[in-house]
Chains A and B, each alone.
Chain A
Amino acid sequence: MPDSVSAPFWDAATDGVLRVQRCTSCRTYWHPPREYCLQCESTHLETEPVSGRGVVYSFTRTESGARHPYFQKQTPYVVGLVELVEQSGLVLVTNFPGAQLEDLVIGDAVEVVFEPDENGAVMPQFRLVQVPNTHEGTTT
């Protein structure tokens, strides 16, 4: 449920842009967004566009026991975490749409994509970056 602190993140997603809250004073990123910066207590926080690039931090496949009717119907589904390249420990949740559990390796490069949720609201998601397979000598 977007609120005054989280709305800029979701609004940007609707526009197809990944924006993350950042302190204008000490430049620390925060996610989830906060009322004030825990690093310097500044209340001047903006939601800045980021590269949308990151790496797989970890993941799981929920196969039963999801605590929401929508996700109960979605099982089995993958859910995991991506660490953005902008800052160590800056982690976002994602479902790695299109990826099977077996496709994912911690540390693999990912990039942001935008997908609708159950109600049609646009959510940032992440997919594996396709690395050209140079071993087979293919050219692009």
Chain B
Amino acid sequence: MTTRHTAAVIGVGHSRVSRRADVPLGILAGDAIRAAVADADLDISAIDGIAGALGGAGIDAHLRDGREYVSTELLVRQLGLQTRWGTSNTHMVGNAFVDAVRAIEAGACDYALVVRAMHSPPGVYGQATTTQIPGPAQFLETYGLFTPALFAHSWHRYQQKYRSGTREQMATLVVQARENGLLNEDSYWARSGAATLTRDEYLNSRVVSTPLSIYDCDLPVQGAGAFVLARSTGRPAGKPVAYVHGVASPEPAVSVNGGLFLLEEQQEAARSVGERLWEDAHLSPADIDVASLYDGFSPMIVQWLEGLGFAALGEGFEFVQEGRTRRDGLLPLNTGGGNLGVGRMHGVPQLMDAIRQVTARAGEAQVPGAELALAVIGPSSVGAAIIFGSSPPE
């Protein structure tokens, strides 16, 4: 049996976003945290818990805390926090967020920060520097198997297995992501004055690894997002509160195949997250008013749609056509633009979108009457999910 959730988000903050690092990342994390604390009408001295995520930072000895990544330990010192609880994990921010929900509900702290800062290095992201490749990667990279080819082969297998999932079908999602992103003040594309993306531009864009093209991949950016969590009771009337209705942490049985992101393993992981999510929330896909599904690479959206039960396996690409995922459609999807419409902020766009929708703060992107919104973060093998509501769970 699961008990009803009592945690809620009472403040959100986002730093400015740039294409490349121009100030140390820790300063942007500080900016996002200060904005979130102000949004919650708190003094920063009230913060007594902090959760952060370092996944994807590729931390090794030559990277510096505060420049290429930001640890929670650094932020505690930088902001003079008096914390009673904290965690820093190597997953994405969804896992840290779920941990913070648990900490609030267990009474380990009263006001918890969840923070995610993303670094955009010079040159090509994750560039290999040597032919002497150590560890399990020696069995991948010596054959030229790098990201995003790692995320392309599962789409290819999907296409042959289900006779669905063409680039023409994918265009619907990618074009919509940019369109929604341009309405989002956090978006790098919006801030840089980018234009909408047409279907033809998408279909004719540079292929990276078939069937993935450049617009199927999120754009590396530098920025930070922060959230303040507290128990939902006793908040001043009229203040925006996003109530937690359900959570699911990442699938514990991550692939041991050297991180090959095999289609069937990803599908099973998404199904497992969904099973635990709906049970925890006492809800089903039909209850969700807005879904913000992870899209670091575009095919992940469909893997989540199918795995969580919004569409049957092999039918996700059909589902997203005919306006069903638009703001006025059956399932408004990634109304904040997601990573594709914002930039590579890992889970921040998904959390921000769902929270803004249920607190009626999504501006032009607002779905009227949105009561329940879902945020999903990560590829499904490391994915976490949170459902937010405009009112407390019954």
Q: Considering only CB atoms, which chain B residue lies closest to A105 in the complex?
A: B160
CB of A52 closer than 8 Å to a CB of B: no
Sample of 11 A–B contacts (CB below 8 Å): A31-B257, A32-B138, A58-B263, A62-B149, A65-B208, A65-B214, A70-B131, A79-B145, A79-B209, A117-B142, A123-B142
Q: A91-B260, A101-B210, A106-B161 are in contact. Are A62 and B144 (CB under 8 A)?
A: yes
Contact between chains at B160 and A38 (CB < 8 Å): no
Contact between chains at B144 and A60 (CB < 8 Å): no
Within A83-97, which residues are at the interface with B (CB < 8 Å)? Answer: 89, 91-95
CB of B61 closer than 8 Å to a CB of A: no
Contact between chains at B146 and A59 (CB < 8 Å): no
Contact between chains at B210 and A63 (CB < 8 Å): yes
Q: Considering only CB atoms, which chain A residue lies closest to B211 in the complex?
A: A60
Query: Which of B26-34, B120-128, B238-246, B321-329 lines the interface with chain A?
Result: B120-128
Within B233-285, which residues are at the interface with A (CB < 8 Å)? Answer: 256-258, 260, 262-263
What are the interface flags for B134-150 relative to A under an 8 Å C-beta threshold, 1 for contact and 0 otherwise? 11101111111111110
Q: Once the chains are docked, how many angstroms separate the CA of A64 from the CA of B206?
A: 8
List, in ascending order, chain B residues with CB within 8 A of A117's CB.
142
Contact between chains at A32 and B258 (CB < 8 Å): yes
Query: Which of B5-13, B86-94, B151-159, B382-390 lines the interface with chain A?
Result: B151-159
CB of A16 closer than 8 Å to a CB of B: no
Q: A60-B210, A66-B144 are in contact. Are A1 and B128 (CB under 8 A)?
A: no
CB of A81 closer than 8 Å to a CB of B: yes
Contact of A63 among B126, B127, B160, B209 (CB under 8 A): B209
List, in ascending order, chain B residues with CB within 8 A of A123's CB.
142-143
List, in ascending order, chain A residues with CB within 8 A of B131's CB.
68, 70, 118-119
Contact between chains at B152 and A60 (CB < 8 Å): yes
Within A64-114, which residues are at the interface with B (CB < 8 Å)? Answer: 64-68, 70-71, 74, 77, 79-81, 89, 91-95, 101, 105-106
Q: How large is the interface on A (under 10, 10 to 19, 20 to 34, 35 or more residues)?
A: 35 or more
Contact between chains at A91 and B262 (CB < 8 Å): yes
Contact of A93 among B139, B147, B161, B208 (CB under 8 A): B139
Q: A101-B210, A106-B160 are in contact. Are A93 and B146 (CB under 8 A)?
A: no
Q: A58-B154, A91-B260, A106-B157 are in contact. Are A63 and B128 (CB under 8 A)?
A: no
Q: Considering only CB atoms, which chain A residue lies closest to B124 in the complex?
A: A67
CB of B133 closer than 8 Å to a CB of A: yes
CB of B132 closer than 8 Å to a CB of A: yes
Q: A64-B207, A67-B124 are in contact. Are A74 and B144 (CB under 8 A)?
A: yes
CB of A3 closer than 8 Å to a CB of B: yes
Contact of A67 among B128, B143, B206 (CB under 8 A): B128
CB distance from B297 to the nearest CB of A (A): 12
CB of A61 closer than 8 Å to a CB of B: yes
List, in ascending order, chain B residues with CB within 8 A of A60's CB.
149, 152-153, 156, 209-212
Q: Once the chains are docked, how many angstroms separate the CA of A63 from the CA of B210?
A: 8
Known A-B contacts: A58-B157, A106-B156. Give 10 more (CB < 8 A).
Answer: A1-B132, A6-B138, A32-B136, A57-B157, A60-B149, A61-B207, A66-B146, A68-B146, A91-B257, A93-B145
List, in ascending order, chain A residues with CB within 8 A of B160's CB.
58, 105-106
Q: Once the chains are docked, how many angstroms separate the CA of A54 from the CA of B248?
A: 37
Q: A64-B207, A68-B144 are in contact. Are A79 and B149 (CB under 8 A)?
A: yes
Contact between chains at B138 and A59 (CB < 8 Å): no
What are the interface flags for B112-130 relative to A under an 8 Å C-beta threshold, 1 for contact and 0 otherwise? 0000000000001011100
CB distance from A89 to the nearest CB of B (A): 7
Q: Considering only CB atoms, which chain B residue lies closest to A71 in the complex?
A: B144
Q: Once the chains are docked, how many angstroms separate the CA of A3 from the CA of B154?
A: 29
What are the 10 A-B residue pairs with the smallest beta carbon separation, nearest first? A58-B157, A60-B152, A71-B144, A58-B153, A32-B136, A1-B132, A68-B128, A60-B209, A67-B146, A63-B207
CB distance from B229 to the nearest CB of A (A): 35
Q: Once the chains are docked, how many angstroms separate the CA of A31 from the CA of B147?
A: 19
Q: Considering only CB atoms, which chain B residue lies closest to A61 in the complex?
A: B210
Contact between chains at B134 and A3 (CB < 8 Å): yes
Contact of B144 among A6, A64, A89, A95 (CB under 8 A): A95
Q: Once the chains are docked, how many angstroms separate the CA of A118 from the CA of B132?
A: 12
CB distance from B58 to the nearest CB of A (A): 12
Q: Once the chains are docked, how many angstroms separate the CA of A67 from the CA of B146?
A: 7
What are the interface flags for B41-81 relative to A under an 8 Å C-beta threshold, 1 for contact and 0 otherwise? 00000000000000000000000000000000000000000
